[in-house]
Chains A and B, each alone.
Chain A
Amino acid sequence: MRRFIATLFVGLSLASATFAVEPDEILPDPVMEERAREISKQLRCVVCQNQDIDSSNAGVARDLRLLVRERLVAGDSNAEVIAYVRARYGDYVLMSPPLNGATFALWAAPFVLVLLSVGAFVIVVRRRPSQQPAGLDEVEQAELDALLAPTKQDGNTS
């Protein structure tokens, strides 16, 4: 049983290491390969738009992965590689959209929503009527006293 679990564990850990990146794409230099992977995770596949090119099996994604590695080997910095791809495919190819006029609403929306909800919370709390009881007037107090006063018939309750 122990052996089975160990085998299973090793098998699963190996399985999780399989990616779209094919062996023939991987650079011999591990440091550079690591940079390539990092860049690939920031670039969107233009065919399957919610996937980065690092995990996409699409043909264009593979071409872009190869291109990223080629640029790195040619001596580009990470930012230069991304700029190279961006010049050809536009902002759309970036997984996280840059902050500019067109995406301002996108970036500002979370903060605006937080401000709005805090504002709404403050208004609601302020408007809530005070929870302090107003107290009893004389007639009510007399009625209450009469109810609470122990009666002779009720003597056994004390």
Chain B
Amino acid sequence: MRWLAFAPLLIAAVIGGFFLWGLDPDRDPNAIPSVLISQPAPAFDLEAVAGLDMPGLERADLVGNEGPVIVNVFASWCVPCRAEHAVLTSLVEQEGQTLFGINYKDKPEDAVRWLNELGNSYARIGSDLSGRAGIEWGISGVPETFIVAPDGTVLYRYVGPVVGDDAVQTFRAALRDAEDWQPEAGT
């Protein structure tokens, strides 16, 4: 019965541990685990953005590329996308990455104006007027950025703009990992 005296201490330790976990500044309580990671990219087929001299995007375009590709969900109405656009552009122009875009719930004329103003480093852009492709990708908002392996496996998902040193570093590291990624034997 002597051990019972330690019960309050034990309970305090358990609750304290939970608080410690809850107060961890590195923990993002809004983070939703993605079901897509390590899964084949979802099926989708998007028309080109009207008025833009660039092909649309479908699932087949993600497969058979030389290296991993970046799929960026963006919109002209999305303010953080403006900041992110410069980062993605530098990844394309300086590191030779392949960038595909899903233009999410955007008016084509707005998207064209936006790309004319900021530059267009996308290789293909699909126009997701209804947001249905967004649902297929399980996005909760824009921007979101995925990395897809040459065999069509989704390797990585970044929620929110890839802006700022930490975010860019995290994303670059994910790109390095993706370049080294090998499909599991037998699958």
Binding site for B on A (CB under 8 A): 46-47, 49, 59-60, 63-64, 67, 87-90, 92, 120, 123, 127
Cross-chain contact B105 with A67 (CB below 8 angstroms): no
- Shortest beta-carbon distance from B12 to chain A in Å: 15
Cross-chain contact B132 with A63 (CB below 8 angstroms): yes
CA of A108 to CA of B96 in the docked complex: distance in angstroms? Answer: 51
Interface string of B127-144 (1 = CB under 8 A from A): 000111011111111000
Cross-chain contact A90 with B33 (CB below 8 angstroms): yes
Known: A63-B131, A63-B134, A64-B135. A127 touches B42 (CB 8 A): no
A120 contacts which chain B residues (CB < 8 A)? 7
- Shortest beta-carbon distance from B109 to chain A in Å: 20
Q: Is the interface of B mostly helix, strand, loop or mixed?
A: loop
Cross-chain contact B32 with A67 (CB below 8 angstroms): no
CA of A63 to CA of B134 in the docked complex: distance in angstroms? Answer: 10
B32 contacts which chain A residues (CB < 8 A)? 46, 49, 89-90, 92
CA of A92 to CA of B42 in the docked complex: distance in angstroms? Answer: 18
5 contacts between A and B (CB under 8 A): A46-B138, A47-B140, A60-B134, A87-B35, A88-B136
**Interface size band for B:** 20 to 34
Cross-chain contact B138 with A89 (CB below 8 angstroms): yes
Residue B4 at the A interface, CB < 8 A?
yes
Cross-chain contact A90 with B131 (CB below 8 angstroms): no
Cross-chain contact A127 with B1 (CB below 8 angstroms): yes
B34 contacts which chain A residues (CB < 8 A)? 90
CA of A96 to CA of B131 in the docked complex: distance in angstroms? Answer: 26
- Shortest beta-carbon distance from B11 to chain A in Å: 9
Residue B116 at the A interface, CB < 8 A?
no
CA of A92 to CA of B35 in the docked complex: distance in angstroms? Answer: 10
B33 contacts which chain A residues (CB < 8 A)? 90, 92
CA of A123 to CA of B5 in the docked complex: distance in angstroms? Answer: 12
B136 contacts which chain A residues (CB < 8 A)? 88
Residue B182 at the A interface, CB < 8 A?
no
Instruction: Name, among B42, B134, B137, B138, the residue most crowded by chain A CB atoms within 10 Å (CB to CB).
Output: B138
- Shortest beta-carbon distance from A75 to chain B in Å: 18
Cross-chain contact A60 with B131 (CB below 8 angstroms): yes
CA of A67 to CA of B35 in the docked complex: distance in angstroms? Answer: 19
CA of A60 to CA of B34 in the docked complex: distance in angstroms? Answer: 16
Known: A67-B135, A88-B35, A89-B35. A123 touches B42 (CB 8 A): no
- Shortest beta-carbon distance from A105 to chain B in Å: 11
Known: A46-B138, A63-B131. 17 other contacts (CB 8 A): A49-B30, A49-B32, A59-B131, A60-B131, A60-B139, A60-B140, A63-B132, A63-B135, A64-B135, A88-B35, A88-B42, A88-B135, A90-B32, A90-B138, A123-B1, A123-B4, A127-B1
- Shortest beta-carbon distance from B107 to chain A in Å: 15
A67 contacts which chain B residues (CB < 8 A)? 132, 135
